[in-house]
A and B are shown apart, each in its own frame.
Chain A
Amino acid sequence: MQIKDSFVINAPQEKVWELIFDIPRLSKCVPGIESVEVVDDKTYRGKLVVKVGPIKSEFTGTVTLTEITAPNRIVGTVDGDDKASASMVKAGFSGTLTPVENGTEAAFIIDVNLRGRLAQFGGPVITATAKKLTAEFAKNLRAQLE
């Protein structure tokens, strides 16, 4: 399943880029983040709580960055699982920042491979949840930057 979304933040590209690598500040923006641990400058371990329909999942996993091109683009993978909902996620993602007229456009593509109970809700539900979380993330970023 592919999730694609983008939003515009009224801030210069460098500021947005800085925030992405400022883990404590970024954590505040990602909805549901419970903890983040920096393993090295390309590897992060964390815990994320997400609610899909009636199921609340607590994913523990690792984010690995495979490409960092400041201040434009990051590429990486996510690997996590949630024992309680017997679900696991593997994803590849790429994100780009592009200067636009009124700030910076952040765009991302995630190829999600979700398996287990959470995946049984089907693409439409997962995509809708992703949209909702993206909107919240954008709102939080704006609060930090605008």
Chain B
Amino acid sequence: MMSTPGETGTESWPLWEVFVRANRGLSHVHVGSLHAPDSDMAVRNARDLYTRRNEGVSIWVVPADAITTSDPDAKGAYFESPAGKNYRHAVYYTKSEGVKHL
């Protein structure tokens, strides 16, 4: 497991990842990152930077170094389990074609 890109110990201000909820009922979606001294300033900066055109009704900011991510180099092996298990998808089952409400 690795830290998040862009997060370096040499920055005087930490990097924050910004998530915006476009409307009630939708989830917060990652929109980008920014640079701020603390979480209050990060939220204010995120408002100015990422919601200048009514893009959202709610903002989350997360310190980039608080995010744990999977190892990108292990992509193949790590996500191998679903491969070959297409019976997990409805389209796998074709015999019911033409039958209503299925």
A and B are interacting partners: no
Residues of chain A touching chain B, judged by Cβ–Cβ distance below 8 Å, are none
